Each structure stands twice: as C-alpha cells, then as structure tokens.
Amino acid sequence: MELKKNPEADLEKRKSSLRWMGIMAAMALMLVSFEWKTFDEAVAGLGDYKADLVEDEIVPISFQQPPPPPPPPPQEATILDIVEDDEDVEEDLVIDDQTVDETTEIEFIEETAEDVMEEEIFTIVQDMPSFPGGDGAMLSYLGKNIKYPTLAKESGIQGTVYVTFVVEKDGAVSNVKVLRGIGGGCDEEAIRVVKSMPRWTPGKQRGKPVKVQYNLPCRFVLQG
C-alpha cells in the first residue's frame, strides 16, 4: 500500500527556511548572552565603600637662627702693684746738674711762618684796570685792528663776541677766552686782537696791584 503525504505537511519544501530561522535564533541567543550584565554586586557594594581620609601632615617651619657672634678676645689684665703708705718706693730720677748764672746763654728758637697766599683773581676791585688812554682809546684800537673775516662777510654774520681775559699785576693780558661767540671766524679774530693789546694799567686792591678778570664785548657790524 503506498503511503501518500499531505503536501502541506511536507517539510522538505521548508527545509531551507527552517535552517535560516534556527541560525537567526542561535545568533539572537548569543547576542543576548553577551549583552546581559549583572549590577547586583556592583550596586550592593556602593553602600559599603568607605573613603580613607588622610589628613595633611602639618610640617612645622623652622627658622634658622644666625649663629651668635664670637666672644671678644680676653683683655690683658693690668696688674696693679699696691704699695702700703709707709713703704718707701724707689724711683730712679735723673736730674741734670745745671747751674744758671749771668753768663748762661739761653737760646730762643723762633719759628717764622711764611705767609704763603695764593694769588686770587678778582672780578671787582677798588681800582679797576684800564686800557692806556681810557675806554675811548680802547674802542679806537679795536676798530682799527679788527679785520672782518671773509667767511663772516660772505655768510652775512654779524653780532657781538664776548671775550674774557685776566689783567695781570704788571698789566699784561692773559687767559683770553670766548664767553659767547657768533662763529664765521669772528671768535678767533676777537681773541687775536685782545691778545695783541698793549699793557693795561693793573687793578689795585688796598693800594696793591692784583689780578683782575675782565670781560670785553667786541662788536662785528657789516657796513651797508
């Protein structure tokens, strides 16, 4: 007798589908097993945690004191020899036997101090130094002897050069310098003319000739 299967109960047709369903079910179980986590032990242990609190150790600060200065060296003790009042003290006194009479000459040593005075240069004295013939003669001398420098002429330089110098005790002129110049060769020309001046009448203080500092203006004017 031939057995006939119901076509709907034939599993050969669904063999491939069932196989894939089995593979997918196995993979799902594996994924669930990997992703499953237990938190019971971790959560239960959170309440029992006790932190070890370590207090900061306070280290005392030590200030190093400087060493004390060394003691001063011991002073030598002075030994005093105490002598009783009734004890005789022997002292070696040497007295020159000199007799003074009318013929004895006494030598007096007199120290002579030389008055060394620095020669002071005055600016104002009782009798001021003067040019021979007076101020008019001095202006005439400057006008005749000053030659206008060529550079000053070409550059149109004009003005007053202030010269200072010392009138010595013999009337000679020395230490000629320019206090304020105008350039263009005028300063050098003023110095040249002042140095070539004749001897002045020296200044006097309390009747004695002294050195006097003298200031002189030299004017340079271009003639039109």
Q: What is the pLDDT of residues 39-96, one digit of tens each?
A: 444 444 444 445 454 455 555 555 456 677 777 777 666 565 665 655 565 655 555 5
pLDDT of residue 45: 47
The answer to the question of residue 30 being in a domain is no
Q: How confident is the model at residue 23 (pLDDT cuts 50, 70, 90)?
A: confident
Strand 208-220 to 121-122 pairing: parallel
Top pLDDT among 3 and 157 is at: 157
| Number of domains comprising the chain | 1
Domain of 184 in residue numbering reads as: 121-220
For residue 157, with 0-12 CB atoms within 10 Å meaning exposed, 13-18 middle and 19 or more buried, which class applies? Answer: middle
CATH of the domain at 182: 3.30.2420
The answer to the question of residue 213 being in a domain is yes
pLDDT in tens, 95-142: 555 565 666 665 645 555 444 456 789 999 999 999 999 999 999 999
* Predicted structure pTM score: 0.48
The answer to the question of residue 12 being in a domain is no
